[in-house]
């Protein structure tokens, strides 16, 4: 029998939403907290709106907080969109250049392997085995007693 874990967000005794992960449930609960605070702010303001409109506006602002925050900081939405586009295009360019560099390095490796003389390879391998230490020194240690 499978065990299924569900995270349920409950507000004022009402089940608002069910989630599969705690992270999603916490994010939704936080969004509802923000909406409640915005509703209280609108309720205390001089704006004349019915409760339904205030609730809709509060939920909208809470759901879109990532887009609203820069606006409240004084950044125009157009400037924000341009920054995102330039950032994503520069990331795309970086990704492409990395892919090209890997492909070029891979091609160089393949080319050098195909153009290398097999006898030269075996000679360099055997030369490397003959002198495991430093170049120009023998592998025997001198005995001061001799």
User: Which tens digits make up the pLDDT trace of 65-87?
Assistant: 999 999 888 888 776 667 666 76
When pLDDT is averaged across residues 92-114 and rounded to a whole number, the result is: 62
Tell me whether residue 2 is in a domain. no
Q: What is the pLDDT of residue 40?
A: 94
When pLDDT is averaged across residues 94-113 and rounded to a whole number, the result is: 62
Number of H helices, E strands in the chain: 5, 2
Tell me whether residue 14 is in a domain. yes
Whether residue 125 is predicted with pLDDT greater than 90 in this model: the reply is no
Tell me whether residue 136 is in a domain. no
- Structural domain total, the chain: 1
Tell me whether residue 50 is in a domain. yes
Q: What is the pLDDT of residue 23?
A: 94
Whether residue 64 is predicted with pLDDT greater than 90 in this model: the reply is yes
Whether residue 57 is predicted with pLDDT greater than 80 in this model: the reply is yes
Query: At 53, is the pLDDT very low, low, confident or very high (cuts 50, 70, 90)?
Result: very high
Q: How far apart are CA 58 and CA 61, in angstroms?
A: 5
């Amino acid at each position: 029998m499978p065990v299924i874990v569900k995270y349920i967000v409950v507000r004022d005794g009402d089940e608002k939403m069910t989630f599969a992960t705690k992270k999603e449930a916490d994010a939704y609960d936080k969004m509802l907290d923000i909406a409640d605070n915005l509703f209280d702010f609108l309720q205390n303001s001089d704006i004349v709106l019915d409760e339904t409109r205030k609730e809709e506006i509060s939920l909208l602002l809470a759901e879109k907080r990532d887009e609203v925050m820069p606006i409240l900081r004084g950044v125009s939405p157009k400037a924000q969109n341009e920054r995102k586009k330039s950032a994503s295009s520069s990331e795309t360019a970086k990704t492409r250049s990395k892919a090209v560099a890997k492909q070029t390095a891979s091609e160089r490796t393949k080319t050098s392997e195909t153009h290398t003389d097999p006898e030269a390879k075996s000679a360099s391998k055997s030369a490397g085995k003959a002198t495991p230490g430093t170049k120009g020194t023998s592998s025997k240690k001198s005995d001061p007693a001799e």
